[in-house]
Amino acid sequence: MELSLCSGFGSMQGHIDREFWSSLMKLDEVEVAWLKDKDVWRTTKNWYEAFANDPLQQYINSDEKETPRRTLIHRITIACTLHAWRRTKITITVNHGSSLVIATLPTASPKPKDVLLNWFADTVMKIRNKNLDRKEQEKRATEFRTKTSEVISERIGDRKEEMIYVSLVFTAQGSQGHGYASALLGTITKLADVLGQACWLVKLFWEPIIQIGMEHPYEFKSW
């Protein structure tokens, strides 16, 4: 069955027409909307700044010196990835990129277009890493992914294939404290209720990352 979320969106389980989805996003006082191409660069800037002091990013990028060239390449990479993801994932926002949630709905067989766009996003990341010589950073990122994968496999196993995965949540520094992220996650929760599916994400613990590296820096959350 098709989940008609927006123009160009891939095949998903369940069925919700566009009018119902639009009404779903307007149930809260905070207006939730689809991320649009015209807002991608602004969202990219907010994303980059929101994670500037993130302990996980500091751990992964500890040996990387920030320069204008590196910053520009990082932002271009994020922007290209967002352009691809908004066509293959749920990318909803408040105030044109001030807060963003990216989620993936379970699907048995992604369309060729979705496969191509995901390949494009992965390729952009690889080109960035090659241009910036990020071997050590990629080693640490792989370490993190491996450890979190072990926790996910232990806690939910194959059930994750039937659950909505929230892969990114952020709010720009100047927009925090207004309930934007709560409204976005609330929208995902309402969608999950309609589809009869559960959600999951990985929550990071800041202090353990700083104190003991990548020993136990995360917590699995499902609802």
As a whole number, mean pLDDT of residues 186-205 equals 84
Q: Residue 206 — pLDDT band, cuts 50, 70, 90?
A: very low
Strands (E) located in 59-208: 90-94, 99-104, 164-171, 199-204
Domain ranges of the chain: 18-146+170-189
Name which of 194, 193, 189, 198 is nearest 163 in CA terms: 198
What the block records as the tokens of 149 is 């994968």
What the block records as the tokens of 150 is 């072990």
Tell me the pLDDT tens digit for each residue of 80-133: 999 999 988 999 999 999 999 999 988 767 788 888 888 888 888 777 767 666
User: What SS3 state is found at 51?
Assistant: coil
pLDDT number for residue 18: 57
Q: Residue 79 — pLDDT band, cuts 50, 70, 90?
A: very high
Strand partners, 221: 201
40-70 burial: b if 16+ Cβ within 10 Å, else e:
bbbbbebbbebbeeebbbebbbeebeeeeeb
| Cα–Cα distance for residue pair 51/70, rounded to 1 Å | 15
pLDDT number for residue 26: 62
Considering just the CA atoms, what is the radius of gyration of the chain in Å?
Answer: 18
43, pLDDT greater than 90 = yes
In one-letter notation, the amino acid at residue 123 is: T
